[in-house]
Structure 1
């Protein structure tokens, strides 16, 4: 089925959306909001063509129905949420980000997803001045960043980010970007640079001064192809990278296999998936 939401689907704590065994698209309207809640799983959805909605009355819980201002049009918007797992979804072509996490969100795993045909793929961190995002810890693992992507895979602020065993086969500007002195630990990924000679660098630092040289960004065991290169920085403080290490990286040589089932799975009801 294709579900076209008139307004945001606002999730409550301790909830799972599980689309295994069926073919469900959330598309052509509003999409999913995770706001100030915890313990959420989203699995197996096709999320695409999300629109800006709002300035309307929306139900946010069984007991509350109230006014919502305009939503940005993210595929999945995480706002002050924690303990969230976004796994085996296919996301593309939304009005803003495919997955955005801001306002003190933390303990997030984004795994086994297929991202295609989008500009600003993933924003992790509200703004350079919003220091509450220093608590943010996010794992980005086993995803395939595929056709038609431009930038922000992810784009990080403050916090600690483990980018591990992902397959980057397409980008037009850069793969991983950031600002505001965050820690990025890139391990065991495969980066295939585009043909554009001006877009070979995996990383982009959003800053106008030399402060970025103190930011902890490292690449370990990554496979760089077609001229791709990663610019490391920082003193490599052990405690910082410990907070940005959530699982053991496998060899980048097996990334294609690890990510071969990225995206919504084709499961059959009654069979193991």
Structure 2
């Protein structure tokens, strides 16, 4: 009898321990590491295998490999010469024709003298240091592919003056001046922007235009800005119908007004993002785009006239536009106006595909949006 009673107590104790262990794992591990971060962040040797990051994207930008098959290039000089960049500067690495994985030897604030024109097969990787680009022209990704930008702060970007800017070792051309976007993606594909801080720029924070496609924007922290993210050049530029963009795990924080994103043509999958409010609207469009909002966490502003998540700028009837909300969470009176009929599924390839988590988990999995505090020899 005593033995049976002891076994019963042991069984109850083990059940409690197992239940506690599962609950502890669930609460401390899973919510804090989304599908992208769980691919690399928990590994203490991330700095010895930086290029493994290139395998971690999801969504339409999954195939962006950046400088995965190139050498490591170390930025040692924060200065900038747009026409004749010095070796060791960010611009010198960014314009090379060969693949490069660009890292930084120390904390660095870079004030560009003209727009930084990226070449194909480049990764800018700010992990392990604090890198800022700001208070001048910022980044242009034009007519190229396979670019990854990870772990840097891009803020207070300004329009640039007309002038000579080098875009490759063999070509320097006259530029008419950039608009003041933090990141401008123009006629490019296979682009991944991850874990960046973006704020307070003269034009957009991220503009994706001129038939760019295969783009993922993930784990970024957006704040203090008006026109956050534009997908599409203008309502007459029908070449943008090929555009496919995934916007996932981002934090749209305080001081934002509109365009999170605004989509003209093409397809946008907006999933598992946290919206802390907006002044005008969160998700908008104007030329019959298809938008799937899935598993987002929307908190409306206190202004009763701005509770609606969506805004359509339509000359005619927009009720046939495919805009859907699936598994979203709404607070403080936020609401989404759906439209259209038929499937809004992103139709990802198997390698691009991911399952959006329930919206209640979004505050946890976006908690570390923006650049991470990574230290060599320790997990991030």
Q: Name the residue aligned to 2:131.
A: 24
- Please state which structure has a larger fraction of its residues in helix: 2
SS at match of 2:363: helix
Q: Name the residue aligned to 2:319.
A: 213
Q: Name the residue aligned to 2:345.
A: 241
In 2, Cα distance between equivalents of 1:65 and 1:271:
41
**For residues 100-111 of structure 1, what are the structure 2 equivalents within 5 Å?**
100-111=207-218
| Superimposed CA distance per residue, residues 59-96 of structure 1 (whole angstroms, 9 cap, x where no aligned partner) | 01111011001211000000001000000000000000
In 2, Cα distance between equivalents of 1:130 and 1:252:
34
Q: Name the residue aligned to 1:232.
A: 338
Gaps of 5+ in 1: none
| Cα distance change, pair 227–70 in 1 and its aligned pair in 2 (3 A) | same
Structure 1 residue 54: deviation in Å?
Answer: 3.1
User: Are 1:135 and 2:242 counterparts?
Assistant: yes
Q: Name the residue aligned to 2:358.
A: 251
Structure 1 residue 157: deviation in Å?
Answer: 1.1
In 2, Cα distance between equivalents of 1:258 and 1:128:
35
User: Are 1:14 and 2:121 counterparts?
Assistant: yes
Structure 1 residue 246: deviation in Å?
Answer: 4.7
Q: Name the residue aligned to 2:279.
A: 172
Q: Name the residue aligned to 2:226.
A: 119
What's the Cα RMSD here? 1.2
In 1, Cα distance between equivalents of 2:354 and 2:323:
17
SS at match of 1:52: coil
Task: Report if aligned partners of 1:168, 1:190 keep a CA contact under 8 Å in 2.
Answer: yes
- Please state which structure has a larger fraction of its residues in strand: 1
| Superimposed CA distance per residue, residues 7-40 of structure 1 (whole angstroms, 9 cap, x where no aligned partner) | 0110010000000000010010110000010000
In 2, Cα distance between equivalents of 1:118 and 1:247:
30
- How many equivalent pairs are there? 270
Gaps of 5+ in 2: 1-107
Q: Name the residue aligned to 1:200.
A: 307
Structure 1 residue 111: deviation in Å?
Answer: 0.2
Structure 1 residue 271: deviation in Å?
Answer: 2.7
Structure 1 length-normalised TM: 0.97
In 1, Cα distance between equivalents of 2:217 and 2:255:
20
